[in-house]
Amino acid sequence: MAPNILKSSLENASFNIIFQILFRCVTFVLNAFVVRHVGQAVLGVMNVRLLLLESMILFLSREPFMKACLTNTAEHNWAQVVNLLWVTVPICALMSLIFGYTWLFILLPSEVLPPYYTFAVCAVAVSCIIELSSLIVQLVASAFLFVRLKVVLDTIMIIIRTFTFVILILYQPENALFAFGVAQLVAAIFYTTSHYAYFHFYITKIEEFKVQERPSLRDDVDESVSMEFPFTSIKDFLPGQLVNSGSLLDKKLSILTWSFFRQGVLKQILTEGERLIMTIMPVLTFAEQGTYEIVNNLGSLAARFIFRPIEDSGYFYFTQMVKRDKSIPDQNVVKVQESVNVLTQLCSVVTSIGLIVLVFGQSYSSLLLWLYGGPKLTAYLPVLLLRSHCLAVLLLGINGVTECYTNATADSKTIDRNNYIMIYESVAFLVVSYFFASWFGPVGFIFGNCVNMALRILHSTKFIKRRHENTKYRPLLGLVPKPIFLASLILAAVITKVSQAYFFPSEKLIHLFIGIVMFGLVMASWVYEHQDLVQLGVNKWRDRRNKHKKDD
């Protein structure tokens, strides 16, 4: 298989950004719906305790295997990969039992839990096991560049889960956790069965193509990919079905998986630190947790629907372009030059987005909260939370890109060494978050997260600098904003702050109009200083459009 990795990664990032926008919009509206129908306390239980449970199970069971098996997929022994990925199902079942028991009988809060809490915990655990049973199919979809499949199925799953939840809430708003559990189960069953159903249809078409020698009906991979597809039956996705000339499991992938697993435990603590502290040491009430989650969702929109897809696609791209076990001077010059250019541009883009969010967030947090939840969310604490999130967004963006390159290009020994460093980062993060939360309340969680991100950025940038120190490449220069863009941001910060003082809340439209004008000025300065990147994007869009016209 010889796909255009960069093109596929860009397409994957584009589709994922669109999907994440849709998903976050749905979550945005759904949270408002839940607050108005069942209250902030139930929202706190769902978005903190239950989603933390799902995140812990899925991340520790799935993430290390997926990261390891996405490395250099062109050289995989697929029989060994299938066997390795099915190990995730018993691991997930064990994780579900351990965490489910902990959530039900150990981490009990002082407050009275809403009805159907036990059912919701069990439903989340079972839905994770169901979803992991299709992990091999999900990996194949990523490895063979089924870009649209993932986006379509993820979108339909979100729609099904949302509509199931909303319909049940409308009939019985007092049983919100029952609706949450049912929606999780229905979505997981659909997600798993639809993956297998699609590949059953696809494999059937491949076999017909081989026999009848007619073009494949699939439109998002070329004919050579179809001919090299290693699976000839849906049974091949089960362990022990493919012909395997080697050992049962790939030793190298197993070692790499174990390295990612140990790192994953630490990374999960860093990622979900505030939810862990809220659950283990409940320094906030359920209602306060619900308020924090509302503001957290608003403050994390850019990080979630832009930065995360860029990070995921960037990880896949760098794993295919840069060899883990070779120094940069010893690798293919063309691939290294392209990968450095991509890393530099990614650093520049995420830094620019983060700075824009930071500048405009200081003056328009109150307006955004007013639009979302009315006057009750324009109090001092929610506004301060959202303004603080704007700094976290900048750090999240930079950390996502630098860390994805580090994880994609470091060898097993380096990853193991990084694990020890992350232990100290994890301890520092938890200690700082706990004390900050005790001193400053909910805002302390955001300050602790900023410290966490800063430490991780420092570690990743040291690795990138050391990786390129004996070369002419300096990809970290992308983190430095260009002068005209920086000057426009400073001007925008001053003017919008004055606008807020004079026109909010009495003249909201004038305040909004001034913000739009300043945002246009900032974007114009960015485009002026990044004309090469903009032109590249325009050319890619034109090429894609012309290709579709020719196909039509």
| Average pLDDT for the chain | 81
- pLDDT average, residue stretch 510-518: 94
pLDDT score at 215: 46
pLDDT score at 547: 63
- Residue scoring higher pLDDT (97 or 3): 97
- pLDDT average, residue stretch 449-455: 87
Q: Is the pLDDT of residue 218 over 70?
A: no
3-state secondary structure of 300: coil
pLDDT band at 166 (very low <50, low <70, confident <90, very high): confident
pLDDT band at 223 (very low <50, low <70, confident <90, very high): very low
- pLDDT average, residue stretch 13-26: 63
pLDDT score at 311: 82
**Cα(500)–Cα(39) distance, rounded to whole angstroms?**
30
pLDDT score at 342: 87
Model confidence, pTM:
0.66
| 414-419 contact pairs (CB < 8 A, 24+) | 414/463, 415/256, 415/259, 415/260, 415/263, 416/259, 416/262, 418/263, 418/459, 418/463, 419/259, 419/262, 419/263, 419/266
Q: Kindly list the domain boundaries of the chain, sorted by start residue.
A: 1-277
Q: Is the pLDDT of residue 214 over 60?
A: no
Q: Is the pLDDT of residue 70 over 70?
A: yes
pLDDT score at 333: 84
Q: Is the pLDDT of residue 225 over 60?
A: no
**Cα(397)–Cα(314) distance, rounded to whole angstroms?**
13
pLDDT score at 1: 40
For 332-344, write each residue's pLDDT tens digit. 888 888 888 888 9
The gap from C-alpha 420 to its chain's centroid, in whole angstroms, comes to 24
Angle 371-303-292 from CA coordinates, rounded to 5°? 55
Instruction: For residue 505, say if its preceding peptide bond is cis, omega within 30 degrees of 0.
Output: yes
Q: Is the pLDDT of residue 358 over 70?
A: yes
Q: Is the pLDDT of residue 7 over 70?
A: no
- Give the N- to C-terminal CA distance of the chain in Å, as an integer: 26
Q: Is the pLDDT of residue 301 over 50?
A: yes
**Cα(149)–Cα(195) distance, rounded to whole angstroms?**
9
**Cα(414)–Cα(410) distance, rounded to whole angstroms?**
6
For 138-163, write each residue's pLDDT tens digit. 888 887 777 778 878 888 888 888 88
pLDDT band at 435 (very low <50, low <70, confident <90, very high): confident
pLDDT score at 222: 44
Buried-state track 424-438, b at ≥16 Cβ within 10 A, e below 16: ebbeebbebbbebbe
How many other CB atoms are found less than 10 A from the CB of residue 67? 22
**Cα(67)–Cα(255) distance, rounded to whole angstroms?**
12
Cβ atoms 444, 437 nearer than 8 A: yes
pLDDT score at 227: 43
